[in-house]
Structure 1
Amino acid sequence: MTKWVIKLGGAVLNCEDAAAALFKVMSEQKDAQFIIVHGGGSLVDTWLQDAGFVSSKHEGLRISPREQMPYIVGALAGCANKQLMAQAIASKMIPIGISLFEAGITSTQKLKALGLVGTCSEGCINLVPTLLEKNMLPIISSIGFDSDGTWYNVNADEAAAAIAKSLDAELIFMTDVEAVLDANKQPLHQLDALQISELINSGVIQGGMQVKVETSLLAAQHLRRGVYISSWQKPENLNALLNQEHVGTKIVP
């Protein structure tokens, strides 16, 4: 049975019934197992703003000072995770909300300048295979821990790639755009390492999309197969990808 890691952008939570439509597509698949990895950037922005914090990013990564972490963790591992669980339950699935630690990922600090932004490395425990055996749906927030119990805000794209690698699973990044766009705002059907480098150097791809594309390329190289970037706004895109049809942008090793 094919395993699919699906990374959902946090913006899906802002669109009424979007997650429910995606879960409906998943629930109808009988020959696939799914693992959801999610972010929640817009929700984090709101929580931090309401708490009086100024939020900033560096090259697409949220700078995460220690004093902001309770709000970041609460938004991602708490509210966003449980919103997705609620939609999955309504679609008659059995979701289990967990962090990266339970999914076999250990984190360490990426750069001091970013605060408590974490990396991904293989951990000592992974509950995901057991959950899949029991026909449950892991919904994994991008909150990680190191061996001392320090919590980290991990980029959800990087987290999804690490989990797909650990499970040897197919990987789909579902974002709020239909595909990666060229300089004329036209969708790109397929990208390789050279094309990605040229688009980044010319400034066509930058910010959060740069992180997503670079992470997708690394994942494709590790998995030795294509990784897809597509839109959660069209549930039929997910159905097409599950049926081996090409929609969105395919990142090839």
Structure 2
Amino acid sequence: MTSSNTTWVIKLGGALLNSPQSVQALFATLATMTDTRFVVVHGGGSLVDRWLHDAGFATAKHQGLRISPAEQMPYIVGALAGCANKQLMGAAIANGLEPAGLSLYEAGVNAQQKLKALGRVGECSQGARSAIPALLEVGKLPVVSSVGFDEQGQWFNVNADEAAAAIAKQLDGELIFMTDVEAVLDKSAQPLHQLSAEQIDELIAQGVISGGMEVKVKTSLLAAQHLRRGVYISSWQKPENLVALLNGEHVGTQITM
């Protein structure tokens, strides 16, 4: 088992927000682990899709990343840093936790434009001082949306997997991606317990890993390389997996260097 001083960064998939019972179960599980420090990082893709659709916008993706034109950013920021963040905070409060809602800026991560063709999609860059260590020190649970700012104060929509990896690196923490699948699957739809860089390249070339999972796995591999330790992909549908991981058990898929 890892040291009680270890901070666990948990990235929650946006689809979790469609399942209020699962959100409650997850925070109820976190509330039982009083000796462990957690930071929650979240996206909210399905909520953003709904808000943009209701506002009359078409949405498009490129290699698993949402194209984010400037005129859509008020809706994207409102959904992620507003509604999704506060939904998660509400569930945390209901389970006796003390959440603090943050954007990437307060978490010590800046953003810069990734590709011009993607509009206001950002990638993580070194930021100012992080408020997270001080919040953890006083028993708060940081809940961080994947909305970033550049040095000019412009908003950016940052991939939440990349955001979680940047925060884990900054905190030298353990990183868990909690998604809507139990593990990364092979071509026979069987769970893979461990994945190396070579296996990832092979499965992507075969088309077994694609789209959003390709982004997640590549980000996990980069994070594993930066953190020099394995990164986990597991399911938010089974919050007990968190307890198992903290106890050193092997669940989900571990991405290794």
Whether these two folds match at TM > 0.5 is yes
Corresponding position of 2:243: 239
Q: CA deviation at 1:31?
A: 2.3
Alignment coverage as a number of residue pairs: 253
Q: Give CA deviations for 1:62-82 in whole Å, capped at 9, x if unaligned.
A: 000000000000000000000
TM-score norm. by structure 2 comes to 0.97
**Pair 1:52 & 2:56 matched:** yes
Inter-partner Cα distance in structure 2 for 1:2 and 1:54: 42
CA distance in structure 2 between the aligned counterparts of 1:81 and 1:150, rounded to whole angstroms: 20
Where has structure 1 moved over 6 Å in runs of 4 or more? Answer: none
Classify the secondary structure of the residue corresponding to 1:194: helix
Identity %: 70
Once the two structures are superposed, the pairs formed by residues 150-165 of structure 1 within 5 Å of their partners are 150-165=154-169
SS in 1 for 2:177: strand
Secondary structure at the aligned position of 2:112 is classed as coil
The one-letter amino acid paired with 1:126 is S
Q: Is the 8 A contact 1:120 1:162 kept in 2?
A: yes
Q: Which residue of 1 aligns with 2:138?
A: 134
What residue is the counterpart of 2:25 in the other structure? 21
User: 2:200 is paired with a residue of what secondary structure?
Assistant: helix
Cα separation, 1, equivalents of 2:247 and 2:206: 35
| Correspondence 1:113 to 2:86 | no
2:215 is equivalent to residue 250 of structure 1:
no
| Cα shift at 1:30 | 2.6
Aligned partner letter, 1:76? L
Q: In the TM superposition, what are the counterparts of 1:84-233 in structure 2 within 5 Å? A: 84-233=88-237
- CA distance in 2 between counterparts of 1:222 and 1:148 reads 28
Q: Which runs of 5+ in 2 are unaligned?
A: none
Distance of 1:117 and 1:69 partners within structure 2? 10
1:194, 1:31 → 2: CA distance?
Answer: 37
SS in 1 for 2:181: coil
Tell me how large the CA RMSD over aligned residues is.
Answer: 0.6
Q: Give the CA deviation at 1:228.
A: 0.3
Deviations 1:156-213 (A, max 9, x none): 0000000000000000000000000111111111000000000111111010000000
Does the residue aligned with 1:31 lie in a helix, a strand or coil? coil
The alpha-carbon deviation at position 25 of structure 1 amounts to: 1.2
Q: Hey, what's the Cα distance between the residues in 2 that align with 1:244 and 1:43? A: 34
Superposed CA deviations along residues 212-242 of structure 1, whole A, max 9, x for unmatched, are 0000000001111100000000111111112
Cα distance in 1 between the residues matched to 2:163 and 2:34 = 26
Q: Work out which of the residue numbers 14, 20, 28 in structure 2 matches 1:10.
A: 14
TM superposition shift of 1:20: 1.3
SS state of the match for residue 156, structure 2? strand
The residue matched to 2:113 in structure 1 has which SS? Answer: coil
